[in-house]
């Protein structure tokens, strides 16, 4: 019998990084990062997502060793590293503008971290070659960084951060300077690299679709605090507050008052008097002001064939936008001027602006947010 | 595919399309161009020409020089030469040009000035032969073939004399080049001193200025602004004022000596002014902004992530700076160093006021020859030598480091 086989496959991998009560302030009054408790699991792709000024980059810089936490601890492999300089952390870092060294060739750039580790000669050459192959730049070793396109520079930065086989790679908005198509291509490439090498990645971005595409887990930052830490699917379906709901994906946030409960469902009254049913959530009480989240693509134009138990809402179509595969309807309803609805183009026949419409959506697609 | 003819037509069309823009650019630059040519380029070219110009002999004694053409250069010239000289010197004495000729010959043959002047006086007073004997009676040197060789050599309106003199060479009567007497070899020493002082000043401004430029780059913007003001302030002050300030500071009874005495670093007053130390200190201070600004402008353009990237890849703070940051500042260091070096080569006011007799640079001697000795030929020749050395150093420098390694800001 091999003992290893008895371990259940589903155990969460051990933590590689732990932030424990980390706070960071530059002026002693305002905290750009506040009460940060976060674990990064070995081998996962964790994204820190948030608007600018939310503290995500500062958090990354503290992990990279370029900023020191004002309070709290950062553990790397169980070891506190707040006072460890960046060069002793063995963490790969890809910067926003790549930070390639312009006076060195691509190969010299990639050999630099090896040189720092006293790996030279044939051993270094093999590693550099392999690193270049890995990012499909085998023939570019002798070029200077300025001779490469943005995407190629990005790949070199990646190869350089990976060549010394760090256990952890940090990326600070690495795709921000690329155009949309290349960005989407690189997202997949980075994700594949991360999976095939089995490395842990902490990725900072303000682009929610990038975060959803690449991440195993996403930490949503706002005002220096993590608002929610979850997988992409859960983050989208079950945001824990208004900010997360608004930041991730398109959303309709309807103000409402809980009238009462009925069989695990809450009855919510919208500002225009309409009554919605939504699954009850923890902490919701009768008479409480709440927000109801309804995603635009979960609503449909009501027809008689739909299920009997569902929310039905009346509204006035303000505008209709044709987007090829789908239509976007802007509807005045539920006390909102612009309730967004997205329906397949085929279902939109006969809809005209300034006409009344009945919308329907499942009770489970209305989500009550108490914060 | 376009035929060759079509391609040529396209090229012509492209050039024609760009013509209005070219014409506009040219006409915008034209006023400055004209101004520069009239006030800067033309005087310099004229002055440089003065270095080889030799108008006096041909103007004053043309017939004598013509008669000398047949002279073999070994024996004494024949009577006809002396007759021509007497006639022309008599005329020169009337025209008051004899002294000019004498002065010109005096550069090459000591004593020629009085010799020519008294001969001219004699020729005017009593214009009769035999001329040779009368000249020899006046001064036996008139019989020397070496003297006549010098006269004959100056038959042309161009002369290498000033340029040769500016590098301590002279033409022997037989035409060969020789170094001048050891006690007269001053100009190479002066040129060497000028180069040495310029090099020292450049080195010092780099050593002192590089850290300041770096501090300017990394300091918080408020502090950086004040620092920048401190760097620029001297630049806005007149060179003469700054030099005079140094004169005040460096006095034997000046502030620095007072302070050193009071602090007990020395028990007697040091000779700071009129010394090499004073010259180098004042020049270094004056040149610092010129070195700092190009370095700063290059440093400012290096993203701070460069150092962070180096650290994250495993290099310590010093090695990051040395291997990643410093190489990227080379264009600024080169530009700043070159500007200071070239400006230092031409320093005049500061060595004149703060330096001693042993600290005078080429420019000071140019000034002396123009203002005091009225020897414009030699002054111009020194200017030519200085300009040549400067351009040569600049070209060698470009060759060594490459033009792309130079960024003037």
Given a cut of 90, whether residue A226 has pLDDT beyond it is: yes
Residue of A nearest to B405 (CA): A103
Q: Are A234 and A344 in a shared domain?
A: no
A332 in a structural domain:
yes
Give the separation between CA A331 and CA A340, rounded to whole angstroms.
6
What is chain A's length?
Answer: 371
Instruction: Establish if B164 belongs to a structural domain.
Output: no
Whether residues B207 and B322 fall in one domain:
yes
Which of B218, B301, B314 to mutate to probe the A interface, most A CBs <10 Å? B314
- Indicate whether A128 and A150 sit together in one domain: yes
- Which of A190, A221, A243 is the last residue in one of the domains? A243
The answer to whether residue A63 is domain-embedded is yes
* Two tokens, residue A111: 């050999």
- At residue A10 the predicted structure's pLDDT band, cuts being 50, 70 and 90, is low
- DSSP, collapsed to helix, strand or coil, labels residue A305 as coil
Chain B: give the shortest CA distance to residue A256, in Å. Answer: 48
Residues of A with a Cβ under 8 Å from any B Cβ are 64-66, 85-87, 89-93, 95-97, 99-103, 112-113, 116-117, 160-161, 164
**Structural domain tally of chain A?**
2
Which chain A residues touch B320 with a CB distance below 8 Å?
87
In CATH, what number is assigned to the domain containing residue A271? 2.40.50.140
Q: Does B309 touch chain A (CB under 8 A)?
A: yes
Residues B235 and B138 in one domain: no
Residue A243 makes CB contacts below 8 A (sequence gap 6+) with A220, A222, A227
Predicted pLDDT at A287? 84
CATH of the domain at B344: 1.10.3720.10
Taking contacts as CB-CB distances below 8 angstroms, the residues of chain A near B314 are: 87, 90, 113, 116-117, 164
- In the prediction, which pLDDT does A2 show? 44
**B313, A112: Cβ pair inside 8 Å?**
yes
Work out how many domains chain B is built from and give that number. Answer: 3
Q: Is the residue at B192 inside a domain?
A: yes
Q: Does B235 map to a domain?
A: yes
- Judged by CB atoms closer than 8 Å, whether chains meet at B312 and A102 is answered as no
Identify the pLDDT of residue B405. Answer: 66
Cβ–Cβ below 8 Å for B313 and A113: yes
| Residues B39 and B95 reside in one and the same domain | no
Q: Do A162 and A55 reside in the same domain of the chain?
A: yes
Q: Is residue B242 part of a domain?
A: yes
**pLDDT value at position A46?**
96
- Kindly report, residue by residue over A80-96, the tens digit of the pLDDT: 998 999 999 999 999 98
Same domain, B217 and B106: no
Each residue of A114-155: pLDDT tens digit?
A: 999 999 889 999 999 999 998 888 889 899 999 999 889 999
Give the pLDDT score at A6.
47
Compute φ and ψ for B369, nearest 5 degrees. -70, -30
- Give the domain range for residue B364: 187-405
> A116 with A239, same domain?
yes
pTM score: 0.81
What's residue B221's pLDDT? 92
Shortest CB distance from A87 goes to which of B306, B311, B328? B311
pLDDT digits (tens, 9 = 90+) for A231-245: 999 999 989 999 999
Question: A184 with A279, same domain?
Answer: no
A261: confidence class by pLDDT, cuts 50, 70, 90: confident
Asked if residues B180 and B169 have their Cβ atoms less than 8 Å apart, the reply is: yes
Q: Are residues B44 and B63 in the same domain?
A: no
Q: How far is B332 from chain A (nearest CA, A)?
A: 14
Residues of chain B neighbouring A164 (CB-CB closer than 8 A): 313-314
CB-CB neighbors (< 8 A) of B402 in chain A: none
The average pLDDT across A282-301 equals 88
Residue A5 included in any domain? no
Q: Are residues A346 and A198 in the same domain?
A: no
Closest-CA distance, A205 to chain B, in angstroms, reads 17
- Please name the residue of chain A whose CA is at the shortest distance from the CA of residue B308: A66
* Closest C-alpha to A272, from A258, A295, A290, A256: A256
Evaluate the CA torsion angle B37, B43, B47, B50 in order and state its sign: positive
Q: Check CB contact of B109 with chain A, cutoff 8 Å.
A: no
Write down which residue in B115, B132, B155 finishes a domain: B155
Instruction: Choose the final residue of a domain: A185, A217, A243.
Output: A243
Residues of A in contact with B303 (CB under 8 A): 97, 99
Domain presence at residue B162? no
pLDDT at B409 over 70: no
Q: Which residues of B touch A89 (CB under 8 A)?
A: 312
End-to-end CA distance of chain B: 45
Regarding whether A237 and A149 lie in a shared domain, the answer is yes
pLDDT tier, A7 (very low <50, low <70, confident <90, very high otherwise): very low
pLDDT digits (tens, 9 = 90+) for B130-158: 888 888 888 888 988 888 988 988 988 99
Compute CA distances A327 → A319, A321, A335, A352, whole Å.
Answer: 10, 6, 22, 12
The 10s digit of each residue's pLDDT in A195-209 is 999 999 999 999 999
Which residues of chain B lie closer than 8 angstroms to A87, CB-CB?
Answer: 311-316, 320
Q: Are residues B195 and B301 in the same domain?
A: yes
pLDDT-derived band at A324, boundaries 50, 70, 90: confident
Q: Which residues pair with A339 in a beta bridge?
A: A331
> What is the pLDDT averaged over residues B234-253?
90
Q: How far is CA B42 from the centre of its chain?
A: 17
- A75 and A147, same structural domain? yes
Average pLDDT over residues A253-280: 88
Last residue of a domain, one of B155, B176, B208: B155
Residues A233 and A254 occupy one common structural domain: no
Verify whether the Cβ–Cβ distance B311 to A86 is below 8 Å: yes
Length of chain B in residues, anyone? 409
How many Å lie between the alpha carbon of A155 and the closest alpha carbon of chain B? 15
Give the whole-angstrom CA distance, residue B355 versus residue A116: 50
Task: Supply the CATH number for residue A205's domain.
Answer: 3.40.50.300
**How far apart are the C-alpha atoms of A214 and A203, rounded to whole Å?**
9
Q: Assess whether B317 and B231 both reside in one domain.
A: yes
Q: Which two tokens stand for residue A279?
A: 């699954």
Has residue B171 been placed in a domain? Answer: no
Pairing assessment for the beta strands A31-41 and A265-269 based on DSSP bridges: unpaired
Judge whether B134 lies within some domain.
yes
Do B286 and B148 belong together in one domain? Answer: no
Q: Are residues A52 and A189 in the same domain?
A: yes
Give the gap in angstroms from C-alpha B316 to the nearest C-alpha of chain A: 6
A164 to chain B: nearest residue by CA?
B313
What integer pLDDT is reported at residue A3 of this predicted model? 43
Are A119 and A156 a contacting pair, CB within 8 Å? no
Residue to test with chain A: of B220, B299, B309, B311, most A Cβ within 10 A = B309
Does residue A322 sit within a domain? yes
**Do residue A146 and residue A90 come from a single domain?**
yes
Please indicate if any CB of chain A lies within 8 Å of the CB of B304.
no
Which of A92, A97, A103 is opposite residue B303, by nearest beta carbon?
A97
Q: Assess whether A319 and A237 both reside in one domain.
A: no
Task: Note whether B314 contacts A91, CB cutoff 8 Å.
Answer: no
Q: Which of A64, A96, A101 sits opposite B312 (nearest CB)?
A: A64
Q: Compute the count of residue pairs across chains A and B with CB atoms less than 8 Å apart.
A: 63
Residue of B280 and B172 predicted with greater confidence? B280
Confidence of residue B407 (pLDDT cuts 50, 70, 90): low
Does B92 share its domain with B44? no
Give A-chain residues touching B309 at CB under 8 angstroms. Answer: 93, 95, 99-101
Asked if residue A27 belongs to a domain, the reply is: yes
pLDDT digits (tens, 9 = 90+) for B387-403: 999 999 989 888 887 76
Cβ count within 10 A of residue A171 = 25
Please compute Rg for chain B using Cα positions. 30
Determine the average pLDDT of the residues in B317-336.
Answer: 93
- Say whether A87 and B312 touch across the interface (CB within 8 A): yes
Is the CB of residue A307 less than 8 Å from the CB of residue A327? no
Q: Does A259 reside within a domain?
A: yes
Q: Do B312 and A65 touch (CB under 8 A)?
A: yes
pLDDT digits (tens, 9 = 90+) for B371-380: 998 899 999 9
Cross-chain residue pair A102–B328, CB shorter than 8 Å: yes
- For residues B24 and B114, state if they share a domain: no
pLDDT band of B88, cuts 50, 70, 90 = very high
Does residue B23 belong to the interface with chain A, where contact is any CB pair within 8 Å? no
Task: List the structure tokens of A46.
Answer: 């964790």
Q: How far apart are CA A153 and CA A132, in angstroms?
A: 12
Residues from chain B that touch A161, judged by Cβ atoms under 8 A, are 312-313
The minimal CB distance from B305 to the residues A65, A97, A113 is found for A97
**Residue at which a domain ends, from B50, B71, B88:** B50
Clarify whether residues B245 and B388 are in a common domain: yes
Mean of the per-residue pLDDT values of chain A: 89
Claim to verify: residue B268 and residue B393 sit in the same structural domain: yes
Q: Examine the fold and report which residue of A243, A269, A298 is the final residue of a domain before the chain moves on.
A: A243
Residue A3 in domain: no
Question: Is residue A333 within 8 Å of residue A339, measured between CB atoms?
Answer: yes
In a domain, A1, yes or no: no
Note whether ipTM > 0.85 here: no
**Domain extent for A295:** 250-369
| B401–chain A Cβ distance below 8 A for any pair | no
């Amino acid at each position: 019998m091999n003992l290893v086989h008895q371990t259940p496959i589903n155990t969460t991998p051990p933590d590689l990084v732990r932030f424990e009560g980390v706070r960071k302030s530059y002026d002693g009054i305002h905290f750009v990062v506040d009460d940060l408790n976060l674990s990064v699991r070995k081998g996962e792709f964790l994204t820190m997502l948030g608007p600018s000024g939310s503290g995500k980059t500062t958090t990354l810089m503290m992990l990279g060793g370029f900023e020191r936490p004002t309070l709290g601890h950062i553990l790397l492999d169980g070891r506190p590293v707040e006072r460890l300089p960046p060069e002793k952390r063995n963490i790969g870092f890809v910067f926003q503008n790549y930070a390639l060294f312009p006076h060195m060739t691509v190969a010299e750039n990639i050999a630099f971290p090896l040189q720092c580790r006293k790996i030279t000669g044939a051993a270094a050459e093999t590693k550099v070659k392999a690193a270049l192959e890995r990012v499909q730049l085998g023939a570019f070793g002798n070029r200077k960084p300025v001779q490469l396109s943005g995407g190629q520079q990005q790949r070199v930065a990646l190869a350089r951060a990976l060549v010394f086989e760090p256990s952890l790679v940090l990326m600070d908005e690495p795709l921000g300077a690329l155009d949309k198509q290349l960005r989407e291509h690189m997202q997949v490439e980075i994700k594949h690299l991360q999976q095939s090498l089995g490395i842990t990645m902490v990725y900072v971005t303000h682009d929610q679709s990038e975060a959803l595409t690449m991440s195993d887990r996403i930490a949503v930052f706002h005002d220096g605090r993590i608002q929610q830490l979850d997988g992409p699917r859960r983050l989208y379906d079950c945001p824990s507050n208004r900010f997360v709901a608004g930041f991730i994906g398109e959303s309709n946030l309807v103000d409402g008052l809980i009238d009462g409960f009925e069989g695990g469902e809450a009855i919510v009254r919208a500002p225009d008097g309409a009554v919605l049913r939504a699954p009850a959530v923890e902490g919701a009480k009768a008479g409480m002001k709440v927000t109801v989240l309804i995603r635009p693509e979960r609503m449909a134009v009501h027809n008689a064939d739909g299920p009997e138990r569902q929310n039905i809402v009346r509204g006035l179509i303000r505008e209709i936008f044709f987007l090829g595969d789908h239509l976007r309807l802007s509807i005045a309803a539920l006390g909102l001027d612009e309730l967004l609805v997205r329906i397949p183009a085929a279902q939109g026949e006969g809809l005209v602006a300034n006409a009344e419409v009945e919308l329907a959506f499942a009770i489970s697609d209305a989500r009550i947010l108490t914060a | 595919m376009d035929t060759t003819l079509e391609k040529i037509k396209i090229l012509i069309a492209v050039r024609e399309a760009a013509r209005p823009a070219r014409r506009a650019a040219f006409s915008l630059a034209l006023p400055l161009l004209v101004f520069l040519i009239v006030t800067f380029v033309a005087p310099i070219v004229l002055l440089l020409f003065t270095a080889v110009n030799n108008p006096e002999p041909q103007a004053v004694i043309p017939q004598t020089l013509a008669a000398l053409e047949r002279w073999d250069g070994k024996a004494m010239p024949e009577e006809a030469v002396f007759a021509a000289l007497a006639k022309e010197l008599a005329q020169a004495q009337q025209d008051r040009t004899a002294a000019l000729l004498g002065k010109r010959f005096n550069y090459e043959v000591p004593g020629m000035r009085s010799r020519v002047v008294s001969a001219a006086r004699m020729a005017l007073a009593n214009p009769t032969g035999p001329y040779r004997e009368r000249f020899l009676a006046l001064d036996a040197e008139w019989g020397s073939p070496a003297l006549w060789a010098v006269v004959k050599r100056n038959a042309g309106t161009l002369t290498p004399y000033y340029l040769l003199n500016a590098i301590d060479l002279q033409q022997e009567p037989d035409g060969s080049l020789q170094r001048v007497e050891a006690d007269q070899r001053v100009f190479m020493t002066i040129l060497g001193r000028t180069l040495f002082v310029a090099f020292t000043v450049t080195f010092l401004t780099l050593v002192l200025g590089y850290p300041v430029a770096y501090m300017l780059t990394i300091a918080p913007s408020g502090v950086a602004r004040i620092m920048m003001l401190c760097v620029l302030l001297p630049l806005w002050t007149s060179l003469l004022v700054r030099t005079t300030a140094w004169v005040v500071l460096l006095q034997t009874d000046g502030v620095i000596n007072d302070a050193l005495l009071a602090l007990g670093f020395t028990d007697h007053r040091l000779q700071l002014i009129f010394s090499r130390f004073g010259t180098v200190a004042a020049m270094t201070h004056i040149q610092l902004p010129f070195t700092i600004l190009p370095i700063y402008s290059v440093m400012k353009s290096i993203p701070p992530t460069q150092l962070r990237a180096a650290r994250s890849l495993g290099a310590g703070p010093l090695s990051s700076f040395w291997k990643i940051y410093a190489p990227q500042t080379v264009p600024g260091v080169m530009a700043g160093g070159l500007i200071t070096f070239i400006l230092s080569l031409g320093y005049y006011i500061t060595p004149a006021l703060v330096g001693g007799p042993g600290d005078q640079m080429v420019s000071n001697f140019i000034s002396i020859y123009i203002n005091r000795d009225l020897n414009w030929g030699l002054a111009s020749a020194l200017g030519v030598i200085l300009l040549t050395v400067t351009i040569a150093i600049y070209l060698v420098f470009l060759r060594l480091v490459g033009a792309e390694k130079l960024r003037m800001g």
